[in-house]
Amino acid sequence: ATEFISLDRTLLLLTVKVKRLPKNNHHKQKLELLPDLNDPSSNKRPRPTPHMASDIPSVGGSSAGQLKENTIIVVLGASGDLAKKKTFPALFGLYFNGFLPQGTRIIGYARTKMDQEEFHKRVSQYIKAPIPAMKKKLEEYLGICSYVDGKYDEDACYQKLETVIKEKEKNFKGSDRHRIFYMALPPSVFIDVATGLKKNNYSPHGFNRIVVEKPFGMDLPTSRELMGSLKSLWKEEETFRIDHYLGKEMVKNLLVLRFGNVILDASFNKNLISNVQITFKEPFGTEGRGGYFDEFGIIRDVMQNRLSQLSETFVRRGPSADLHLPITLSTIVFYIQSDLLQVLSLLTMERPVSFSAEDIRDEKVKILRFIPPIQREHALLGQYTATGDKPGYLDDDTVPKGSICPTFAALVLYINSPRWEGVPFVLRADFGCLISAQCAYSDSGVIAGFNQIQGCHSRYFKDIARNELVIRVQPGEAVYLKMNAKTPGLAMKSVSTEMDLTYKRRFSDLKIPEAYEALILDAIKGDRSNFVRDDELEIAWKIFTPLLHYIDQEKPKPEPYSYGSRGPESLDEFITKNAGYKRFTQGYKSV
């Protein structure tokens, strides 16, 4: 069969030859692209065709490594909240489902003195085992967990740890000795621990991997200092900078949504998209955590990290406030700089050469380099006040009196790339906000607004709503496309509705893995796709550091907003002014 294709005024002739199978298999006829045998340059060899789906991480044929036996996992900071509430439950989830390498041993290390029995109580404290099969597995899991106490800055303590590790390794078969060191620790001890581990516990007979929790500094200079010290000790390929937001199912789904669906990939550009909003919300305040929040802030914590990529070293996420430590200006900025910026890069990057970890992260770095530093006029800051029985931020005893630390931030940035030039991206992060699985505007996730219908002046379409693609990360994972349809009946009226993929309904028989389970498994397999590379971190800080320094030095007063509201009263005006976006809720009920 032949087909003429017009491309830049040049006619190309495509020859497709059909390979026929025997008649009794006619229903299984297979089409193959074969070389033109009349073309001597073809050398009678078919050209390879790209295969995309099999190369996407976590989809069959992934390029990630395999689970390797003879692995020791050392959890440093084993007595802390992060280890108890996230790390050890995630490791149990992997063990219960058979995803830990055969013969794996887990060693907890911390300064707290306790015996093995007390350690096992702490490990199992936040692990739910409602059925007998899980209880039996939990007993087995505790059997592979042991504890060593020691300081973080003394070689003798790491040598004691090495003695325990080698004792466990005596039961391993073969010569390989693999070690993973998970640092569930604050940044203040990163370098001491990384130094002690490299000097005393580095295995010469297998892979060594160090998993580091955020935050990585307070701004660009402090991040460079911290990462430079870490890089002098551990190779980049050995370093896994964890951001649990990257392990969330809907964030990991962004690659497949973008590049596995022609309709979405073709739509994601400045010609069809008018604005994009990426939001992180916590429905609780900072009760008891104000000291931390006042130090780090929401832009450092949410935006530079979560919006780009975020960790739970300081701000523990969850449905209940007891999972969280204190919050700051840096927490709000950090949420935006981390989690939201990471989501932004996955959403807007170009198709990578392949879906290997390095090619994916290469494209993320390329798109981030197109983003100039955020201007101060493109920032809206807020601080929640008391409502009913809910205390305001300043009512928290751990918050300094008269603090002007924002608990809300909305930032507008632009990507000066050929695909996205001129499209505003609004990054929002707030605490004590309205959050509901029944309202798209109160979720954590992405709303991509399409352009308004052009050149149509019919009265039927005069005030018609824009199409929107909504990717809800939490609560209740979902993807839906807001579109317009005719209301049933004799009258010609339109209504805004949606095509809906709600995960709980569509995948009711499947369990969505916890983010930490997914990321720890990636670290065990050596798949670095969902971890932060050093140059990603560098560029993220360049985008946010000027704004952070302005806020730190000029101390602008945040706009008050009521606990449980959408945010400051000027939010809609701010978004309309800077992003040309107006909320459309008339006659619409979101999924």
Residue with tokens 């160090």: 210
Which stretches within 46-131 are classed as H helix? Answer: 81-82, 88-96, 116-124
Distance of CA 124 to the CA centre of its chain: 27
Per the rule left: phi > 0, alpha: psi between -120 and 50, beta: everything else, 244 is alpha
Rounded CA gap, 490 and 494, in Å?
12
Q: What is the mean pLDDT of the chain?
A: 78
Average pLDDT, integer, range 137-156: 95
| Residue 208: predicted pLDDT | 96
Q: Which residues fall within 8 angstroms of residue 135, CB to CB, at 6 or more apart?
A: 129
Residue 397: Cβ within 10 Å count: 9
Q: Could you give the dihedral angle defined by the CA atoms of residues 400, 403, 405 and 406, in that order, rounded to the nearest 10 degrees?
A: 120
Residue with tokens 């050093």: 534
Coil, strand, or helix at residue 406?
Answer: coil
| Residue 10: predicted pLDDT | 39
Report the candidate in 342, 332, 344 with the shortest Cα–Cα distance to residue 409. Answer: 332
Rounded CA gap, 538 and 547, in Å?
15
| Residue 71: predicted pLDDT | 94
pLDDT at residue 408 is higher than 90: no
Which stretches within 276-432 are classed as H helix? Answer: 290-296, 298-301, 329-337, 339-348, 357-368
For domain 71-213, is the CATH number 3.40.50.720?
A: yes
- 540-554 pLDDT per residue, tens: 889 988 888 888 888
pLDDT at residue 204 is higher than 50: yes
Contact 415, 348 (CB under 8 A): yes
Rounded CA gap, 122 and 89, in Å?
11
Average pLDDT, integer, range 383-387: 87
Average pLDDT, integer, range 383-398: 85
Coil, strand, or helix at residue 447?
Answer: strand
| Residue 378: predicted pLDDT | 93
- What tokens does 58 get? 């976590």
pLDDT at residue 570 is higher than 80: yes
Per the rule left: phi > 0, alpha: psi between -120 and 50, beta: everything else, 435 is beta
Q: How many CA atoms lie within 13 A of 119 on its CB side?
A: 24
Average pLDDT, integer, range 295-311: 45
- 414-443 pLDDT per residue, tens: 999 999 999 999 998 876 554 433 334 446
- What does the DSSP 8-state code read for residue 83? I
Q: How many CA atoms lie within 13 A of 211 on its CB side?
A: 32
| Residue 51: predicted pLDDT | 38
Domain parsing of the chain, residue ranges: 2-40, 71-213
Q: Give the residue with greater pLDDT, 198 vs 529.
A: 198
Phi, psi of 48, rounded to the nearest 5 degrees = -70, 145
Q: Give the residue with greater pLDDT, 56 vs 350.
A: 350
Average pLDDT, integer, range 482-491: 87
pLDDT at residue 30 is higher than 50: no
- 54-91 pLDDT per residue, tens: 344 444 334 345 778 899 999 999 999 889 999 999 99
- 216-261 pLDDT per residue, tens: 777 788 888 888 888 889 999 999 988 877 888 888 889 999 999 9
Report the candidate in 430, 421, 500, 525 with the shortest Cα–Cα distance to residue 73. Answer: 525
Strand ranges, E, within 111-203: 145-149, 178-183
- 32-61 pLDDT per residue, tens: 333 333 344 444 433 333 333 334 444 433
| Residue 130: predicted pLDDT | 77
Contact 487, 493 (CB under 8 A): yes
Q: Give the residue with greater pLDDT, 399 vs 301.
A: 399
| Residue 331: predicted pLDDT | 55
Distance of CA 47 to the CA centre of its chain: 37
